Amino acid sequence: MARAKAINVKIPTSKVIAGLEQALATLELDWANQADNEAKYEKAREVWHEALKKFAIANIKSAENFRTSYRSYNNRLNIDYDIIVTAERDMPVEPEREYEQMHISNYREAKKEITNAIRILKMTDEEVVSTSTYNAIAEYL
């Protein structure tokens, strides 16, 4: 079994700073657009739900395995059933998120780490960044 050797790379500090500044700008843009992206996704899900309802009603004749549950406290009858689908392509396609959801704590942590790294790299007199330093910030580049 071959052992992996450590890679020793020297990267210009200016390029790393530029990459981190770009990553910070992207992070802030993604955060700013998150509400709009979520609204678009929710709208797409509403459209999909309506299409799914129409599909279920149109194919009710193929339903089987009925399960019912009556709730007397709110006078609701819940009916679950399975529809036999001949081809998956006939069903409405569920929308997928085209963006990565970000919790505020993750945003704040990433922003703090990137800005700290930029600040430290701007204070250094070194012309190149060592591999260990690069490894610590590589996830943001």
CA distance 135 to 6: 12
On whether the CB atoms of residues 91 and 85 are closer than 8 A, the answer is yes
pLDDT above 90 as % of the chain: 54
pTM of the model: 0.65
Per-residue pLDDT reduced to its tens digit, 10-22: 788 888 889 999 9
- Assess whether pLDDT exceeds 90 at residue 43: yes
Per-residue pLDDT reduced to its tens digit, 74-115: 999 999 999 988 888 888 999 998 888 889 999 999 999 999
Each domain of the chain, given as residue ranges in start order, spans 11-140
Provide the pLDDT for residue 82: 92
